[in-house]
A and B are shown apart, each in its own frame.
Chain A
């Protein structure tokens, strides 16, 4: 009896350990591999010994052009996020606070667009952008990315605005604010955490994008980081440079993992609010 009781008490924690290991083990393997030297890259020890930063040095060597790829990713994901947020804030406010005709239809439409297969807009846009000479430009990656970041942001912010009590604006408007002023001076500052959370989720989605960036660029200098890493070439033709790919993968993922660690509670709130409702 006591034994089973003990089991019952510890079983959830064993389960938790399993879940954590399941989630982190492959990521840990990427981290460990990135810290190995070129000679012991195929080593299967759990810790890198000797510790080597050779892979990171090769990733950031000027010949690789990876710094430019990171900058491209930052510009594309950053601008996409900023544009999506501005538009989504207005729309989400209307969705959460105003009653108007076709509201449900419009919201359904907006959500539905985020479920489109990206390739079905990439193919025609690729042709259009080829015709107007937009291939290898930032806008050719930013504009199509809006197709999934904007609905995501609208949905997240709508949920967030709905959670804020109506009395906030009512009080402001009783004090003489117009609806616009109430929105600008009361709602937006108070919604800042929600807008921030949405910004993180949107940014991560845009940063992780691959298909659009792959299709819209053919010049190495314009590729985003995710595309650039997949095209890393090894010293010899048929050798995949796994060491530098793992190191570059860590570099691309670290900002996201740091954000996740810092804002995990908010991100989970945003994700579950937007999706599990």
Chain B
């Protein structure tokens, strides 16, 4: 509890000292200088420190989201029957953009929806499996750690747009993939092979990253647990299933959640690797972006809102059903918070050692 007791008291001596240095706030002297309750002073300081971030996020996230909600109720600018020119305003169409997905016009939406779902399920499962395997390997070997760490970060650091081009080159008709396979596959044409190409490229980029996060989880499992299990005659597989998996679950869950949310908004990779408006790989992000760039803001916003809801539901499901703890020891007061932060600290030290 020490960390909760000390700061409030000290902050209360000089409420708003930081305020004098921050622009746009009333000077501290204009405030009553009475000794308020400890939490009030801290609260004010916290509000000062946190509000710029909240303000920016309101402007760049919450306001646009509300705008999208509003915009999704409007249709496309059509020809004005009176003047014959394209009308200056968009007609209000209510929920038509949403109900349209259940009619013929919704085909493209559902195709994009299923593509998005397919990519998310397939890439995240593969990445999890390969990532866990990588983490187990890296956990075993102690030499060459720096080399592994550096090479794992390379796919992560390469811009997705560039890795899209890189894989487009590999999957080229005369490219190295077909040479190695000894078989001509038209990877980047529109078809199922295009889906496979996107999956391979995405898994390459992110499986090492999942491995890195899982490795961080593995490092905190005390060695004694395994020794005890070995003494009790547990096989390697039993040890993995009964000890490793349950103990690494929190780290794994957060990694999988993050990957899911990332895969749901996939854009760059299919856009560059295969191309815009290719039915076999068009994701919801690509569809919304394409509609918006064609000045069809109403439907584009509706698709964006639906994607947003989809992402939100998946995140909620993770947190509610699987108990993924996103904030970690965010509200960490008291014992459990301190213990967890100590564990996290140790984990980081060991992974980076």
Contacting pair B68 A268 (CB below 8 A): no
B300 shortest CB reach to chain A, Å: 5
Provide the bound-state CA to CA distance between A95 and B330, in Å: 8
Interface, chain A (partner B; CB < 8 A): 11-13, 15-16, 18-20, 22-24, 26-27, 29-30, 33, 42, 44, 87-88, 90-91, 93-95, 97-101, 103-104, 106-113, 115-128, 143-144, 146-147, 150-151, 154, 159, 162-163, 166, 169-170, 173, 178-180, 183, 204, 207-208, 210-211, 214-215, 226-227, 229-230, 240, 242, 245-246, 249, 252-253, 256-257, 259-261, 264-269, 271-273, 275-277
Contacting pair B304 A117 (CB below 8 A): yes
Decide yes or no whether B189 CB sits under 8 A from chain A: no
Provide the bound-state CA to CA distance between A24 and B151, in Å: 6
B216 shortest CB reach to chain A, Å: 4
Contacting pair A257 B154 (CB below 8 A): yes
A159 and B344 in contact (CB under 8 A), knowing A211-B267, A277-B328? yes
Q: Can you name the residue of chain B whose Cβ is closest to the Cβ of A272?
A: B216
Sample of 19 more A-B contacts, CB < 8 Å, known A104-B331, A115-B261, A210-B271: A13-B143, A19-B148, A19-B152, A26-B163, A110-B54, A115-B311, A117-B285, A118-B265, A119-B289, A120-B64, A121-B60, A121-B65, A143-B60, A146-B56, A166-B7, A215-B292, A230-B272, A265-B149, A271-B213
Contacting pair A268 B65 (CB below 8 A): no
Provide the bound-state CA to CA distance between A169 and B11, in Å: 11
Decide yes or no whether B30 CB sits under 8 A from chain A: no
Decide yes or no whether B29 CB sits under 8 A from chain A: no
Contacting pair B53 A264 (CB below 8 A): no
**Complex contacts, A183 vs chain B, CB 8 Å:** 18
Contacting pair A19 B138 (CB below 8 A): yes
For B289, give its contact among A94, A122, A261, A265 (CB under 8 Å): A122
Give residues 268-327 of B contacting A (CB, 8 Å): 268, 271-272, 284-285, 288-289, 291-293, 297, 300-301, 304-305, 307-308, 311, 315, 326-327
**Interface of chain A, helix or strand or loop or mixed?**
helix
Contacting pair B148 A27 (CB below 8 A): no
Contacting pair B7 A253 (CB below 8 A): no
9 interchain pairs, CB-CB under 8 A: A26-B167, A100-B39, A166-B7, A179-B14, A211-B267, A215-B292, A246-B165, A268-B351, A269-B352
Decide yes or no whether B75 CB sits under 8 A from chain A: no
How many positions in chain B have a CB within 8 Å of any CB in the partner chain? 122
Provide the bound-state CA to CA distance between A180 and B327, in Å: 26
**Complex contacts, A44 vs chain B, CB 8 Å:** 176, 179
Contact string against A for B residues 144-186, beta-carbon threshold 8 Å, 1 for contact and 0 otherwise: 1011111111110111111111111110101010010000000
A33 and B169 in contact (CB under 8 A), knowing A118-B265, A124-B68, A127-B297? yes
A97 shortest CB reach to chain B, Å: 6
B4 shortest CB reach to chain A, Å: 5
For B137, give its contact among A19, A42, A207 (CB under 8 Å): A19
Q: Can you name the residue of chain B whose Cβ is closest to the Cβ of A242?
A: B169
Provide the bound-state CA to CA distance between A214 and B272, in Å: 11
Decide yes or no whether B71 CB sits under 8 A from chain A: yes
Contacting pair A124 B162 (CB below 8 A): no
Contacting pair A147 B144 (CB below 8 A): no
B347 shortest CB reach to chain A, Å: 7
A99 and B158 in contact (CB under 8 A), knowing A30-B166, A265-B149? no
Interface stretch (choices B44-52, B98-106, B223-231, B237-245): B44-52
Contacting pair B53 A88 (CB below 8 A): yes
Sorted from nearest, which 8 A-B pairs have the closest CB atoms? A15-B137, A277-B328, A124-B67, A104-B331, A117-B265, A208-B159, A94-B49, A120-B304
Contacting pair B169 A108 (CB below 8 A): no
**Complex contacts, B162 vs chain A, CB 8 Å:** 226, 229, 249, 252-253
Provide the bound-state CA to CA distance between A23 and B156, in Å: 9
Contacting pair A275 B255 (CB below 8 A): yes
Contacting pair B6 A166 (CB below 8 A): yes
Q: Can you name the residue of chain A whose Cβ is closest to the Cβ of B116?
A: A117
For B153, give its contact among A112, A227, A260 (CB under 8 Å): A260
Decide yes or no whether B251 CB sits under 8 A from chain A: yes
Decide yes or no whether B348 CB sits under 8 A from chain A: yes
**Complex contacts, A253 vs chain B, CB 8 Å:** 157-159, 162
**Complex contacts, A115 vs chain B, CB 8 Å:** 258, 261, 311, 315
For A119, give its contact among B45, B172, B267 (CB under 8 Å): B267
Contacting pair B153 A207 (CB below 8 A): no
**Complex contacts, A122 vs chain B, CB 8 Å:** 289, 292, 304
Provide the bound-state CA to CA distance between A264 and B328, in Å: 24
For B7, give its contact among A98, A107, A151, A266 (CB under 8 Å): A98
**Complex contacts, A20 vs chain B, CB 8 Å:** 147-148, 151
Provide the bound-state CA to CA distance between A147 and B150, in Å: 28
A155 shortest CB reach to chain B, Å: 9
A179 and B11 in contact (CB under 8 A), knowing A15-B137, A143-B60? yes
Contacting pair A146 B60 (CB below 8 A): yes
Interface hub of B10, B162, B251, B264 (most chain A Cβ within 10 A): B162
Decide yes or no whether B117 CB sits under 8 A from chain A: no
Contacting pair B212 A268 (CB below 8 A): yes
A208 and B160 in contact (CB under 8 A), knowing A265-B352, A275-B258? yes
B262 shortest CB reach to chain A, Å: 8
